[in-house]
Amino acid sequence: MSILASQVISAIQSVVGEEPSPLHVPYFAGNEAKYVAQCVETGWVSSVGGFVEQFEQKLCEITGARYAVAVSNGTSGLMVALKLAGVLPGDEVIVPAMTFVATANAVCHVQAVPHFAEIERKHMGIDPAKLRDYLNEVTSRRDAKTVNRITGRPITAIVPMHTFGHPCKIQEICEVAEGFGIAVVEDAAESLGSYVGNKHTGTFGKLGMVSFNGNKIATTGGGGVILTDDDALGPLAKHITTTAKLPHAWEFFHDQVAYNFRMPNLNAALGCGQLEKLDEFVTVKRELANRYRKAFSAIDGVEFFDEPNNCRSNFWLNSIRLRHATIEERDALLNLANKKQLGLRPAWQLMTQLPMYVDNPRMVLEVAVAIQANVINLPSGVEVAIRGNGRA
Ligand SMILES: *Cc1c(COP(=O)(O)O)cnc(C)c1O
C-alpha cells in the first residue's frame, strides 16, 4: 500500500470510524414516512393532493425564488428551463466540461449543441475570466445574437453548475453572459442549501434547477424543481410541465403540445419531510466538512476543497485533490478504500471523453483535464456525518 493511500484512508477513518461509510445515501428520520402514508391512506398518490403545493411553497421560502415548480427529475427540469430561456434547435449552449452527464443531455433534449467550458481549479465551476476571453475570440454579433464564428451557430444560453455543492463564480459568470446577450440557466442540482452571500444558488440566472434524486442532500426519490423570479416564465413552467391543461372542473382542454413532467404527490410528500430537516442536514454536513478539513490539513499533497469566500456551501460531497498522484496511485486508493467499504469515488469523466460528445465544440480544457484526474469524493451522507460528529 502506498504511503499516500494509507494516510488518506486513516484520515477518513479518523473522521467517520471504521464502519461501512457509503458516499451519500438518503436519511429519513423525520415525518417522511408519515406524509407518504397519508398519500396512501387518502389515495392521493399522483396528481391530486396538497404535498406538491406545500413542497413548492417551502422551496420558495428556502431559496427566495418567486416561483418553484416541482417536476419529475432534475434533467427534465433543466430541459424545460432551457426551452423557457429561449434556446432553439440548432443553438449552442455553454456547459462545464466537468459535470454530471445530465447537464449536457438536457441541452441535447432541446435539440441544441453543448459547447464545453473550462473550469477553475479552486472550486471547479466555469472560469468566468477565461470564458470572457474565449467568447471575445470565437464569437461575433449577428442579428442581435452571439454567434460562434467557427460553427455559425448562435450561443444562446450557459448552464453554470455548482460542483459538489460549492457555489461557482455565478455573479461573474452572469456578468459575462449578460455582456454577450446569453441567458443563464443554473444547474443547482447539487447545491440546495448553498448560498452566495445571502442569495441561494439557482436564483441568479433567468431560471435554475435543483435535483431531488436519491443521492442529493434532500430527496423525493426522484424529482427536481425549476426556480425563477420571472412572472411570465414561472406560471408557464407549471403549465408546460402539466400537459398545458387549462383549469376546468371537468373539461379537458390543452392549448399546446406539452410535457407530463409533474412531480407525483407521493414524491412531494417525501420531499416535504426532507425539507423540514434541511437546516439540520446542512449543519451536520458542515461539521463533517470541518472534521475532514482538519484531518487532511496535515497530509502533504492533499488539498481539501473548501467553500469559496463569502459563500455558504452545503458540502454535498466533500472532496479532496491528490496534488501529485498518478492515475494508478489514485485507482489504488479507490480500490483499497472501497474494499474497506469507504465510498470513495473519482470525479465524473469529462463530457468531452464521452462517446456522444467527443466532437463537440470546446474551450482549451487544461484545468478540467488536470482536476478530473485527481479529485476524489469522500463519504458525505447525513448518517455518516452524524456518526462522525459523534466521535470524540
Ligand atoms: C443530479 C444532477 C443532475 C440531474 O438530476 P436528476 O434529478 O438525476 O435528473 C443534473 N446535474 C447535476 C450536476 C447533477 O448532479
Residues 20-59: pLDDT tens digits? 999 999 999 999 999 999 999 999 988 878 999 999 999 9
Tell whether ligand 1 has an atom less than 6 A from the beta carbon of residue 91: no
- pLDDT given at position 391: 78
Find out whether 320 and 342 touch, Cβ atoms under 8 Å.
no
Q: Ligand 1 centre and the CA of 287: distance in Å?
A: 25
Nearest-atom index, ligand 1, CA of 223: 7
Helix (H, G, I), strand (E, B) or coil at 156: strand
Tell whether ligand 1 has an atom less than 6 A from the beta carbon of residue 224: yes
Q: Ligand 1 centre and the CA of 211: distance in Å?
A: 6
Which residue from 162, 211, 350 has its CB within 8 A of the most atoms of ligand 1, so it is best to mutate? 211
- pLDDT given at position 1: 60
Atom 5 of ligand 1, residue of closest alpha carbon: 74
Q: Ligand 1 centre and the CA of 347: distance in Å?
A: 14
Q: What are the DSSP E strand ranges found in the chain?
A: 67-71, 92-96, 113-117, 139-142, 145-148, 155-158, 183-187, 195-196, 199-200, 207-211, 224-228, 302-304, 311-312, 319-322, 345-346, 375-377
What sign for the dihedral angle of Cα 276, 264, 313, 304?
A: positive
341 φ, ψ (degrees, to nearest 5): 60, 30
User: Which residue shows C-alpha cell 417525501?
Assistant: 270
Atom 2 of ligand 1, residue of closest alpha carbon: 189
- pLDDT given at position 46: 86
Q: What is the SS3 string spanning 204-233?
A: CCCEEEEECCCCCCCCCCCCEEEEECCCCH
Q: Ligand 1 centre and the CA of 74: distance in Å?
A: 5
- pLDDT given at position 278: 98
Q: From the first residue on, what is the mean pLDDT of each consecutive set of 10 residues in the chain (392 residues)?
A: 88 94 96 97 87 98 98 98 98 98 98 98 97 98 95 98 98 98 98 98 98 98 98 98 94 96 97 98 97 95 96 98 92 95 96 98 97 96 92 67
Q: Ligand 1 centre and the CA of 246: distance in Å?
A: 30
323 φ, ψ (degrees, to nearest 5): -60, -40
Angle at 45 between CA 222 and CA 239, to 5 degrees: 70
- d(Cα 207, Cα 26) in Å, to the nearest integer? 27
Tell whether ligand 1 has an atom less than 6 A from the beta carbon of residue 211: yes
- pLDDT given at position 392: 56
Q: Identify residue 270 by its one-letter amino acid code.
A: L
Tell whether ligand 1 has an atom less than 6 A from the beta carbon of residue 75: yes
Nearest-atom index, ligand 1, CA of 74: 7
Nearest-atom index, ligand 1, CA of 75: 9
Atom 10 of ligand 1, residue of closest alpha carbon: 102
Tell whether ligand 1 has an atom less than 6 A from the beta carbon of residue 99: yes
Find out whether 194 and 311 touch, Cβ atoms under 8 Å.
yes
Please give the grid coordinates belonging to residue 275: 425539507
Q: Ligand 1 centre and the CA of 126: distance in Å?
A: 17
Find out whether 158 and 174 touch, Cβ atoms under 8 Å.
no
Q: Ligand 1 centre and the CA of 143: distance in Å?
A: 34
Q: Ligand 1 centre and the CA of 279: distance in Å?
A: 21
Please give the grid coordinates belonging to residue 14: 479518523
- pLDDT given at position 55: 98
Residues 243-296: pLDDT tens digits? 999 999 999 999 999 999 999 999 999 999 999 999 999 999 999 999 999 999
